[in-house]
Amino acid sequence: MTPQTAIIYSRYRWTVISVWLFSSVSSFMVLNTLGILLPSISADLDLSPSQQGLLGSASHWGNIALAIPLSWATSRLSPKWLTVATLTMATGCLFIQSFAPVFLVLLAGRLLFGISNIAQMPARALLTRQWFPPKEVILVNGLSNVLFGTVVGAGLVAAPVILDLTDGDWRMTLRIFGLYFAGITALWIILGRERKNEADENVVMPQGLDVVKGALGHRDLWIGGLGFVGATMSFAAFLAFYPTLMLEEFDISLRLSGGILALGVVVGGIGGMVIAWAANTPVRNRIILQVLGILMIGTNVGMVLTGSVTALFVLSFFNGVAWTFFPILVTVPFHLPRIRPRELAVAFAFTMMMTSVGTSLGPLITGFLQEALDDLKMALFLISFTSISLFIAGSTLRFGERRQAVKG
């Protein structure tokens, strides 16, 4: 292929990536509905606040420890069959959790579920590189946001309903999630495909540890990752503990608090596509991240301090607006200078690992703060301010500006 030859991208690319993203956000749906199931789990297994925090963070430990070595190893595999293997593993982990007789077995099931989730991430980077031109990557990530908001939001609404229909049986709820995952696995086997990207035909592929070095040697990758850490800390803490706070402090039902959280997730998801379309210059990206970082802190604090249902829905709506930043930061790895396919897989896994750092620390720190202060409201109030990392990322990311100046 000559440099002047235009690469033709099949329309089927949207089918492939939509099914893959649907499977991925379904994993996050299961992870993020823990807060709805946690009161029932705690009553059944007699969990302390610290154990609840450990359970909320366990699914992310494997991500943090194994993201880089797993992405290095799996980046050489077929993205289609890597996805099949990880979805099958996730399905099995859900059934393991549903039959857990004691806390440690449940903890292990959550840990393994998280490992299956992070092991799947190189497939997303490789499929995006195979099927999409660079200019459409942010649209892919915007679509990811829409599906995240829709599926996770639906899960937050459906989980308390399923729990009610099963007479508060969290084990049966997890088994229903397991059957749901089995269906997703079958759908991906049928519709998932791969292709060769002509733009990578003559690229010299790095080998061994050079893959990791090439991926992690970019300043913006680290800044974007750290931006995710603080935001996801507060997000995960709220998903794990907010329904309990609302129930105990304001007598707001799990179903209603689930709906409040779901509204923010749905708004953030759908709004992410708008941001993906609007965020097309470095200056605009910076301003968006700074504004949304401040908005996230304010709405988090407001949701902790009030018990007014009307106010909570309004605050949750604007908290969702704050979460529309996601496509901007998650696109950073795809536009790093001279990034090659396997390096991209590692860089993207690193970015998702940093979201796991935040989602792991959020519930864990909140649980320990609650025990130390004997006050869940104060614990969530304090954790709300970790979202300042988003403002800092917006102030320091270059978004390729220096490269563009050099090229000019």
Residue 285's nearest CA partner among 225, 346, 330, 349 is 330
User: What pLDDT is stored for residue 283 in this prediction?
Assistant: 78
Ranges 52-66, 115-129, 178-192, 315-329: which has the least confidence: 52-66
Q: At what angle do helices 209-216 and 49-74 cross, to 10 degrees?
A: 120
Q: Per-residue pLDDT tens for 52-92?
A: 878 877 777 777 778 888 888 887 888 999 999 999 999 99
Q: Which two tokens stand for residue 70?
A: 């797993």
pTM: 0.73
CATH architecture of 13-195+207-407: Up-down Bundle (1.20)
Q: Are 35 and 244 in contact (CB under 8 A)?
A: yes
CA 343 to the chain's CA centroid:
20
Q: Are 148 and 265 in contact (CB under 8 A)?
A: yes
Contacts of 307 (CB under 8 A, 6+ apart): 246, 249, 250, 252
% helix / strand / coil in the chain, to the nearest 5?
85, 0, 15
Q: Per-residue pLDDT tens for 165-211?
A: 998 899 999 999 999 999 999 999 999 998 876 555 555 455 567 78
Residue 52's nearest CA partner among 319, 232, 228, 245 is 245
Q: Which two tokens stand for residue 41?
A: 């789990």
Q: Per-residue pLDDT tens for 214-236?
A: 888 888 899 999 999 999 999 88
Would you say residue 153 has pLDDT above 90? no
CA distance 330 to 352: 8
Q: Are 84 and 53 in contact (CB under 8 A)?
A: no
The most confident of 178-182, 201-205, 364-368, 400-404, by mean pLDDT:
178-182
Contacts of 81 (CB under 8 A, 6+ apart): none
